[in-house]
Amino acid sequence: MALRERVQVKTPEQVRAMRRAGLVVAAALDAVRAALRPGVTTAELDAVAAAVIRAAGATPSFLGYHGYPASTCVSVNDEVVHGIPGPRVLQPGDLVSVDCGAVVDGWHGDAAFSAVLDPADPADLALVAATERAMWAGIAALAGATRTSAVGEAVDDEVADRYGIIEEYVGHGIGTAMHQPPDVPNYRSRDRGARVRPGLVVAVEPMLVRGAPDTHELADGWTVQTDDGSRAAHVEHTVAVTAGGLWVLTATDGGTAGLAPFGVTVAGVPAP
């Protein structure tokens, strides 16, 4: 049996460094949200995020990653994840998912949001809301968990077969690299996952679809699209487990609002 890859456990100081990267990501995504409207190209949204990241003295995590050509992923409608920004002009009613990462002093932050342009299909709004709640349920599960498998169990229970859950793309550890052990599935798995302990930092990122969860990769080598053309939503936050509890590093409020419905309070800054 293969040995499980080693999980990078962060010190409180390192978690604080990751918070700085997380706040840059949060600011970049806030700027993209403000620019999101019909008539804007996905490349223009990418430029907005890149400008915020650079202005903060940070570096885009995505640009050049395995040859990826942009600072964000912008996926539209039936594109699940890894959409390459370009000349595509956003239309009224589009469902847009934006994924962004930044590096500060060698430490990464990673987050994503989905939104629907007006006039919005209520079914698309419901999909986005369900994906966001599933993400927060998964994050909240870490508060009392012994193993990271609790995340996928909580997401699976929250979705409850109302939507398809993409299984090929999962959450992940994050730190001095954007993707590290452990994998964090968004569904119930026989694998118990890594031990949950102070210093664990992971990205939780469910991807839900209105139809079947079968996907394919486009000829660009990146963009993932649903086979049946059904619309998809993707949300993500980077969360740290500290001695005092959870701290959502890419949420401006540390995760207070998102975790409150689950009865979980945010730990705040970990002690040195």
CATH number of the domain to which 26 belongs: 3.90.230.10
- Domain membership of residue 16 (yes or no) is yes
What average pLDDT does range 46-61 have in this prediction?
Answer: 98
Whether 18 contacts 240, CB under 8 Å:
yes
Domains: count for the chain: 1
**Nearest-CA neighbor of 169 among 142, 203, 136, 134?**
203
- Domain membership of residue 5 (yes or no) is no
Average pLDDT, the chain: 96
Please give the residue range of the domain that contains residue 101: 12-262
Task: Note the pLDDT of residue 131.
Answer: 98
Q: Compute φ and ψ for 113, nearest 5 degrees.
A: -140, 160
- Domain membership of residue 213 (yes or no) is yes
Task: Kindly report, residue by residue over 155-213, the tens digit of the pLDDT.
Answer: 999 999 999 999 999 999 999 999 999 999 999 999 999 999 999 999 999 999 999 99
- Domain membership of residue 46 (yes or no) is yes
pTM of the model: 0.96
pLDDT-above-70 percentage for the chain: 97
Reported confidence tier of residue 271, pLDDT bands at 50, 70, 90? low
Task: Note the pLDDT of residue 124.
Answer: 98
Task: Note the pLDDT of residue 5.
Answer: 74
Cis peptide bond N-terminal to 272, omega within 30:
no
Beta bridge pairs of residue 4: none
What is the CA angle 227-232-233, rounded to 5?
155
Q: Look at residue 22 and tell me whether its pLDDT is greater than 90.
A: yes
- Domain membership of residue 83 (yes or no) is yes
Task: Kindly report, residue by residue over 70-121, the tens digit of the pLDDT.
Answer: 999 999 999 999 999 999 999 999 999 999 999 999 999 999 999 999 999 9
- Domain membership of residue 1 (yes or no) is no
Reported confidence tier of residue 267, pLDDT bands at 50, 70, 90? confident
Q: Look at residue 2 and tell me whether its pLDDT is greater than 90.
A: no
Strand spans (E) along the chain:
59-60, 72-76, 79-81, 95-104, 107-116, 164-165, 171-173, 180-184, 201-204, 207-209, 215-217, 224-226, 232-234, 237-242, 245-248
